[in-house]
Amino acid sequence: MKPIRKVVIPVAGLGTRVLPATKSIPKELLPVVDRPLIDYVVDEARDAGIENFILVTGRGKGAIEDYFDHAYELEATLKEKSKTKILADVEKTIPTAGAVSYTRQQAPLGLGHAVWCARELIGDEPFAVSLPDEIVSHRPGFLRQMVDAYEKVGGNLVAVEEVPQEDTSKYGVIAPKSRDGNLIEMTGMVEKPAPADAPSNFRIIGRYVLQPDIFKLLENQGKGAGGEIQLTDSMNSLNEQQAFHACICEGGIYDCGSKLGWLQANVALGLKNKELSGDFSDYIRSQMK
Compute and round to an integer the Cα radius of gyration of the chain: 19
Residues 28 to 67 in contact with ligand G1P, rule: CB under 6 A: none
In a 3-state reduction of DSSP, which class is residue 64?
helix
Question: Which is nearer to ligand G1P, 78 or 261 (by Cβ)?
Answer: 261
Give least dist CB 134 to ligand G1P, A. 6
Residue 6 sits at φ, ψ, to 5 deg, of -130, 150
User: Torsion angle of alpha carbons 183, 37, 85, 54, nearest 10°?
Assistant: 80
Give least dist CB 235 to ligand G1P, A. 9
Chain position whose Cβ is nearest to ligand G1P:
172
Question: Which is nearer to ligand G1P, 79 or 170 (by Cβ)?
Answer: 170
Residues 98 to 117 in contact with ligand G1P, rule: CB under 6 A: 111
CB 157 within 8 A of CB 150: yes
CB 99 within 8 A of CB 52: yes
Question: Which is nearer to ligand G1P, 28 or 191 (by Cβ)?
Answer: 191
Q: Which of these segments, 22-30, 82-90, 129-137, 211-219, binds ligand G1P (CB under 6 A)?
A: 129-137
Q: Which of these segments, 30-38, 69-77, 128-136, 176-184, binds ligand G1P (CB under 6 A)?
A: 128-136
Question: Which is nearer to ligand G1P, 17 or 119 (by Cβ)?
Answer: 17
Question: Which is nearer to ligand G1P, 93 or 137 (by Cβ)?
Answer: 137
User: Torsion angle of alpha carbons 156, 61, 93, 144, nearest 10°?
Assistant: -10
Residues 182 to 221 in contact with ligand G1P, rule: CB under 6 A: 191, 203-206
CB atoms within 10 A of CB 30: 21
Give least dist CB 161 to ligand G1P, A. 10
Question: Which is nearer to ligand G1P, 39 or 133 (by Cβ)?
Answer: 133
CB 253 within 8 A of CB 141: no
CB 254 within 8 A of CB 137: yes
CB 210 within 8 A of CB 126: yes
Asked if 254 is part of the footprint of ligand G1P (rule: CB under 6 A), the reply reads no
How far apart, in whole angstroms, are the C-alpha atoms of residue 265 and residue 255?
8
Instruction: Name the residues that contact ligand G1P, by CB under 6 A.
Output: 111, 131, 133-134, 171-172, 191, 203-206, 230-232
